[in-house]
Chain A
């Protein structure tokens, strides 16, 4: 099991932000879905993003990954603009795994080939990824007949096979049972131990405590609170976080939803 041990390397990398967002915002029509996001992700960190449904967690993740261009502000990767090359150093796992209509092995091969990895190296990485996801017995199975847990393990393996420096996870265990959730969390831990920076969106406070160091709490598209996971969860300072943790629906009195 993962120990929330202190992370000495954090100190070393502190002055080198891996990913940074400045005044990041996204509007659709008159709706400002994300606004004024200033965020720094340090290399080797584990950041958890939480917030109520509709607070913009998944959208923020997509903006940070560059899947959606922001309407305001910008995202930087290693203090340079986020471009395709930068995105190739990142990976993302979605809540519902997107399985190609191919075998387990072919799904991995496709991801590796797309990065120009071929031949013996591809075979080696493929085998490694399959072993890490414990899918050896399913290698030649069509990916889409796998169980939800198996599919998500494959999605994790596929994301990690290309050796990303940062892994975005959008509620990866939201539709999984406890055993499958545990398996995914083990893979995340292993990836982090291997040096992969983690940005995880979750609804599960328990998972946030297990997996996270820093917590970013969103409400109505803004960051309302940040801090070490335990601190925010045990003693939330923002009204939004207090309400959410207390199981109440929170409506910001100063920012009604039709801003």
Chain B
């Protein structure tokens, strides 16, 4: 096999060449992943916060379920979403199979439990600190959840990052529901899978490096934000 430096050079070339096809793939990846993470946060943050801040029957069962679902196998999620969206499935009339939306749905299902479960932990810890003060102040449930989420915002940024990592690296679900259609549903991970199957290992690895670079940039950004938050004792 080619030396690793050659692969590195190819990766750099890919990034710097500004090849439209590669750029499209990267942009679609980001669009799908970020949309899924935003949706997962819209669902998972309040859900996790409620479980973290309130006591209710079967709470332990809910927590165990959420934690278990963090490990949902992508292929299984892909299959379930495929069966739902298939023309023969209950959501067939939406005609969403083999679209970017289908990939967003699958990734949202994968990421939401991660966001919810990690948010639950973060909010539970913070709630322990705030609970008496809030009770004394007569804070109602809605305001309490909002305040806990807001005050945990920097920790929750890391939670969203964990979700982003899962979604960005995932291939099993999106290749089933997206179909890896050129220019339509081809994202970085499915391209890597395709190029690997074509035996173009350098190109596959180079794309992997592009993915890695994006992950490094996103992580670095979050780390920097958290750093300033920690100095302000907000995190």
Contacts and interface: CB of A to CB of B under 8 A. Distances in A.
Contacts of A114: 137-140, 143
Contact of B138 (A88, A110, A144): A88
B88 interface: no
Indicate the member of A84, A100, A162 with the most B CB atoms within 10 Å. Answer: A100
Interface string A159-186: 0001000000000000000000000000
Interface of chain B, main secondary structure: helix
A87 B136 contact: yes
In this complex, the interface size class of chain B, counting residues with CB under 8 Å from chain A, is 10 to 19
Contacts of A98: 129-130, 132-133
B21 interface: no
A91 interface: yes
B161 interface: no
Given A102-B151, A142-B232, A144-B233, A67 B138 contact: no
B233 A142 contact: yes
A67 B233 contact: no
Interface in A67-109: 67, 84, 87-88, 90-92, 94, 98, 100-102
B135 A67 contact: yes
Nearest to A141: B232
Interface of chain A, main secondary structure: mixed
B136 A91 contact: yes
Contacts of A110: 147
B197 to A, nearest CB: 49
A100 B147 contact: yes
B4 interface: no
A111 interface: yes
A65 interface: yes
Contacts of B223: none
A199 to B, nearest CB: 13
B234 interface: yes
Contacts of A100: 130, 147, 151
Interface string A110-136: 110011000000000000000000000
B133 A101 contact: no
Contacts of B234: 101-102, 142, 144
B136 A67 contact: yes
Indicate the member of B133, B151, B234 with the most A CB atoms within 10 Å. Answer: B133
A34 B129 CA distance: 24
A101 B138 contact: no
A142 B132 CA distance: 21
Contacts of B147: 100, 110
A115 B152 CA distance: 22
Contact of A101 (B132, B135, B143, B233): B233
A161 to B, nearest CB: 11
Interface in B123-166: 129-130, 132-133, 135-140, 143, 147, 151-152, 154
Interface string A219-230: 000000000000
A84 B138 contact: yes
Contacts of A162: 137
Nearest to A99: B233
A117 to B, nearest CB: 12
A94 B133 contact: yes
Given A102-B151, A114-B143, A94 B132 contact: yes
A67 B154 CA distance: 29
Nearest to A111: B137
A62 to B, nearest CB: 8
Contacts of A16: none
A67 B137 CA distance: 10
Contact of B136 (A92, A101, A144): A92
B144 to A, nearest CB: 9
Contacts of B130: 98, 100
Closest 3 pairs between A and B when the two form their complex, measured CB to CB: A144-B233, A98-B133, A142-B232
9 contacts: A84-B138, A87-B136, A88-B138, A91-B136, A100-B151, A101-B233, A114-B138, A144-B234, A145-B233
Given A91-B136, A101-B152, A114-B137, 20 more contacts: A62-B132, A65-B136, A84-B138, A90-B136, A92-B136, A94-B132, A98-B130, A98-B133, A100-B151, A101-B154, A102-B234, A111-B137, A114-B140, A114-B143, A115-B138, A142-B232, A142-B233, A142-B234, A144-B232, A145-B233
